[in-house]
Structure 1
Amino acid sequence: MDGTNRGPLKDIRVVEMGQLIAGPFCGQLLGDMGAEVIKIEPPGKGDPMRDWGRGEHALWWEVVARNKKSVTANLREAEGQELARRLIAKADILIENFRPGTLERWGLSPEVLHADNPGLIIVRVSGYGQHGPYSDRAGFGGIGEAMGGWRAIVGDPDRPPSRMGVSIGDSLAATYGCMGALAALHHRDRTGEGQIVDSALYEAVLQVMESLVPDYSVANYVRRRSGSILPGIAPSNAYACKDGDYLIGANQDTVFARLCEAMGQPELASDRRFVDHVARGQNQGLLDAMIDDWTRGQTMSEVEVLMIRHGIPAGRVYTPAEMLDDPHFASREAIVDVPHPRWAGLKMQNVFPRLSKSPGAIRSIAPQAVGQDSEEIYRTLLGLEGEQLDDYRQRAII
């Protein structure tokens, strides 16, 4: 982490006004690729993400706020709104994930902002989008996952819908917001026009639901919760070994034949119950049980050797300990050490995807103090002097 900015967005300035997950993650993605990200936090405690974590270890902030600068502005006061407006006038992209209508109540509507800065790209992430009968409802990631179809098909069939162990709805909406911003930058390069990127949580989830809707609209087929399997896709499951679970995906005919060879049961490839994709899907439970019987007699390492030798997609179920001990992670620097004044031994995921000519990087740690860059930003970008900044501080405007 040398602070050098070689990223493709190093000439782009972003103002991030969002809090919690979706807005900040969108800002993280842009910052990772070199953008200057100025995060506006409320005076005092700042973004609630600063306190999210396990007890005293609020480490999520260190990931989601890396490569950012922190300024404060009380957006509930006219002078704080004016500070935000002046910063946004000098930005390429604005990110916000407030409930629709909030910016407008603060006098920061797209019409006002575009009057100051016609090329501004405004990324608006919300639960239900900027219009429609549900648009003014409060929306969190889990609600978007439910409405978009995710929760209905995740978990065991005899249990309530499960959630993923991460905030996938927020992350998807943020990622689509980032993708929209990049597309809007290309449009601006050709036309000079800014625009609004409207990223709804439920629509971001809906986008990754494969053929869920076509299956129903054409064939009246409703996908249900199916636990660890995809119905009709076999074999593709986690199988028990002596020392843990191992994932094997061998549903393609030629790959399945190689799995049968690896198991020492080549005759299974021509068994009428497993001879092709349809047959294996119809006998999925039986096939999974047979493979599980085989793996239970071996360690994960023993199974892994056979899977590699026979060219079968397979792998361990990794925890952080396995990730940090794995030579592939190390070779690609997928996880990097981040020197930090507070957290000794801090490691986190690197910047992805990798660009060969203008790679992104972790250039700076997350802002440790709320508004630690206010003086620099307000002086250099807005030309404010120390006396005025002191006045703002005394009146809790910043």
Structure 2
Amino acid sequence: MQQATNSPAALAGVRVVEMGQLIAGPFCGKTLGEFGAEVIKIEAPGAGDPLRNWRLMREGTSVWWQVQSRNKRSVALDLRAPEGQDIARRLIAEADVLIENFRPGTLEGWGMSPAELHALNPGLVILRISGYGQTGPYRDLPGFGVIGEAMGGLRHLTAEPGRVPVRVGVSIGDTLAALHGAIGVMMALYHRKVNGGAGQVIDVALHEAVFNCMESLIPEYSAFGAVREAAGSALPGIAPSNAYPCADGWVLVAGNGDSIFKRLMAAIGRQDLADAPDLGDNAGRVARVAEIDAAIGAWTAGRTVQAVMDTLSAARVPVGKVYTAQDIAEDPHYQAREMLLTQATRDGYSVTVPGVVPKLSATPGTVRTSAPRLGDDTDAVLAEAGLTQEQIALLRAKGVIQ
């Protein structure tokens, strides 16, 4: 496990209450926790966050959980019970940040609207992640990351031309929303520091986080009426940039810089294309992209992935193997960059997990604690909030905490 260094943590002293489950809200909490924030995760008694049981399990818990919830403290608290809501308010009153990714109106139904929480804690930064945002005609519709990817425009492009749209393989809509949320939290904390200590609400919609990454999609439609369509592995309007078959797999080649293109063509024995006047800039290459792709594909097809990588790397042409999980786990660059960490779990085994991103030189992120079991920190957190052991025991007897 990557232990804390002697360097100060970037978010040391920031206290976060995380309410919500699965991916978007908790990924934001994970990111803040890795840079020193104290993250108190509130989970429902019984099963807790459903992510504990998603995908592949070991010792009864998802190994995904070990990544998503490291550096967090788990409080098992029934937010449907009035006593549970009172405890949540006590925790929020002492927090800097509240993260929630419930359907809009849920907090209000518990008597914890932003206005009510700001009356309790004027400096509170409230991050609200939802499918469609807190306003607008769709606000009450259920929304998951996949729906955000569809509405945000991404799914229309993730396909081979004329074939069914496919997902990118991970919950990218949720993760993009989480990262936008983390950026919003940082800006709101900075504003609070330099402008008198007032908190604010950050409203992140899943589809808007995806849409924000869609590059020239809307300007092209506005200016030209052009609807960008699926292009498979190619990068439309930029050439050459595509995936090419090898004798034992696939490589991605990005030869779309003017000088890079010339080096690429020389490396594959196509000096005629390197010297062609009309291929000296991107517009000319786009006009002949099918011919260029065919030339590259014909050259790669008879060679192994490694042979292609060696030749093009020597020519200073960006080229990449399509990595599997095994490739990542065995790659020396990942190791050298501390992007593969061995993390001990509270279930008694160790697992390799992703490292911390981004890398800060003075205040690096760390993995300080492993992911908690459900309710591991309930008693300690409630005691810190001022509850007596008798009060804690009574709440446990009532099933409000676990």
Q: TM-score, normalised by structure 2?
A: 0.96
With over 3 angstroms needed to count, the CA separation of the structure-2 counterparts of 1:2 and 1:247, relative to structure 1, is closer
- Comparing 339-348 and 162-171, the one that deviates more: 339-348
Aligned partner of 2:253 among 248, 256, 270: 248
Match runs of 1:235-274 below 5 Å: 235-271=240-276, 274=279
CA deviations over 1:305-337 (Å, ceiling 9, x no partner): 111211111111111211122111111111111
Aligned partner of 2:367 among 340, 346, 362: 362
Do 2:57 and 2:63's aligned partners in 1 also have CA atoms closer than 8 Å?
no
CA deviations over 1:25-79 (Å, ceiling 9, x no partner): 0101100111000000011110001001125561111111011000021111111
Q: In the aligned structure 1, how far is the partner of 2:4 from the partner of 2:315?
A: 44
Aligned-pair CA distance for 1:276:
2.8
Which residue in the other structure is 1:323 paired with? 328
Q: In the aligned structure 1, how far is the partner of 2:400 from the partner of 2:26?
A: 22
CA deviations over 1:250-302 (Å, ceiling 9, x no partner): 01111000001111222211235634312221222221111111011211221
Aligned-pair CA distance for 1:179:
0.4
Which residue in the other structure is 1:350 paired with? 355
With over 3 angstroms needed to count, the CA separation of the structure-2 counterparts of 1:325 and 1:106, relative to structure 1, is same
Which residue in the other structure is 2:382 paired with? 378
With over 3 angstroms needed to count, the CA separation of the structure-2 counterparts of 1:2 and 1:235, relative to structure 1, is closer
Do 1:127 and 1:141's aligned partners in 2 also have CA atoms closer than 8 Å?
yes
Aligned partner of 1:187 among 181, 186, 191: 191
1:392 is matched by which residue type in structure 2? L
Q: In the aligned structure 2, how far is the partner of 1:360 from the partner of 1:333?
A: 11
1:50 and 2:55 aligned = no
1:304 is matched by which residue type in structure 2? M
CA deviations over 1:340-377 (Å, ceiling 9, x no partner): 34364411111100000011111111102x11101110
- Comparing 129-138 and 94-103, the one that deviates more: 129-138
Partner-residue secondary structure (3-state), 1:223 = coil
Q: In the aligned structure 1, how far is the partner of 2:99 from the partner of 2:329?
A: 33
2:120 is matched by which residue type in structure 1? D
Aligned partner of 1:107 among 111, 122, 132: 111
1:290 and 2:295 aligned = yes
Which residue in the other structure is 2:9 paired with? 7
Which residue in the other structure is 2:304 paired with? 299
Q: In the aligned structure 1, how far is the partner of 2:202 from the partner of 2:237?
A: 38
Do 2:75 and 2:381's aligned partners in 1 also have CA atoms closer than 8 Å?
yes
Which residue in the other structure is 1:27 paired with? 29
Q: Percent of aligned pairs with the same residue?
A: 50
Partner-residue secondary structure (3-state), 1:152 = coil
Aligned-pair CA distance for 1:214:
0.5
1:221 and 2:226 aligned = yes
Aligned-pair CA distance for 1:226:
1.1
Partner-residue secondary structure (3-state), 1:20 = coil
1:348 is matched by which residue type in structure 2? V
Which residue in the other structure is 1:389 paired with? 392
Q: In the aligned structure 2, how far is the partner of 1:303 from the partner of 1:153?
A: 28
2:45 is matched by which residue type in structure 1? P
Q: In the aligned structure 2, how far is the partner of 1:42 from the partner of 1:20?
A: 13
The RMSD of aligned alpha carbons is 1.4
- Comparing 262-271 and 353-362, the one that deviates more: 262-271
CA deviations over 1:66-94 (Å, ceiling 9, x no partner): 11000021111111000000000000000
Aligned partner of 2:80 among 76, 83, 88: 76
Aligned-pair CA distance for 1:116:
1.1
Partner-residue secondary structure (3-state), 2:79 = coil
Do 2:22 and 2:50's aligned partners in 1 also have CA atoms closer than 8 Å?
yes
Aligned partner of 1:38 among 15, 28, 40: 40
Do 1:232 and 1:280's aligned partners in 2 also have CA atoms closer than 8 Å?
no
Q: In the aligned structure 1, how far is the partner of 2:68 from the partner of 2:210?
A: 21
After the TM superposition, which parts of structure 1 deviate over 4 Å for at least 4 consecutive aligned residues?
none
1:66 and 2:76 aligned = no
Which residue in the other structure is 2:235 paired with? 230
Partner-residue secondary structure (3-state), 2:127 = strand
Residues matched between the structures, number:
396
2:152 is matched by which residue type in structure 1? G
Aligned-pair CA distance for 1:3:
4.8
Aligned-pair CA distance for 1:107:
0.6
1:160 and 2:187 aligned = no
Do 2:173 and 2:207's aligned partners in 1 also have CA atoms closer than 8 Å?
yes
Q: In the aligned structure 1, how far is the partner of 2:210 from the partner of 2:287?
A: 29
Q: TM-score, normalised by structure 1?
A: 0.96
Q: In the aligned structure 2, how far is the partner of 1:224 from the partner of 1:33?
A: 39
Q: In the aligned structure 2, how far is the partner of 1:297 from the partner of 1:147?
A: 41
Q: In the aligned structure 1, how far is the partner of 2:314 from the partner of 2:2?
A: 41
Partner-residue secondary structure (3-state), 1:278 = helix
Aligned partner of 1:127 among 131, 140, 161: 131
